[in-house]
Amino acid sequence: MVKEGSTAPAFDTRDGEGNSVRLKDLRGQKVVLYFYPKDDTPGCTKEACSFRDAFDDFKKAGIKVLGISTDNEASHKKFARKFDLPFTLLTDTDHSISEAYGTYGQKKFMGRSYMGVHRKTFLIDKKGKIKKIFEKVKPDEHAREVLEAFSK
């Protein structure tokens, strides 16, 4: 189980442009890794746009923002273009990264149970350790609380 203070699970995946992204290549940087259920859905769009709107502040603070879902590269590319998202969206089509971080599991919606990604955010420090985990995320306010947490 991933917890605050532990080493962030390594990953090697692709972004919406098809580029390889490995966590170990981001050592020395502060990273926000936010898991979200699906591109272009109401809550996920609010969350992505909150990070977009605060992106300059993240950039000034030297914080890399990464969004991740089980959507494929084409879906991420379309989502990023539609909402002018300036940060990287990562693919996790086999949900192996979500499983490693403990964000993949049983969900319920309108009386139906299914497997999917839970909305959760991890702050990873320059040494690759998890500084903070946000279990309960309010999509439209999330970027600000993440920025504040990294400032502490």
Amino acid present at 123: L
Residues 11 and 3: their CA atoms lie apart, in Å, by: 17
3-state helix, strand, coil in the chain (%, to 5): 30, 30, 40
Beta strands in the chain (DSSP E): 12-14, 20-22, 30-35, 63-69, 88-91, 104-109, 112-117, 120-124, 130-134
The residues carrying an active-site annotation are: 44
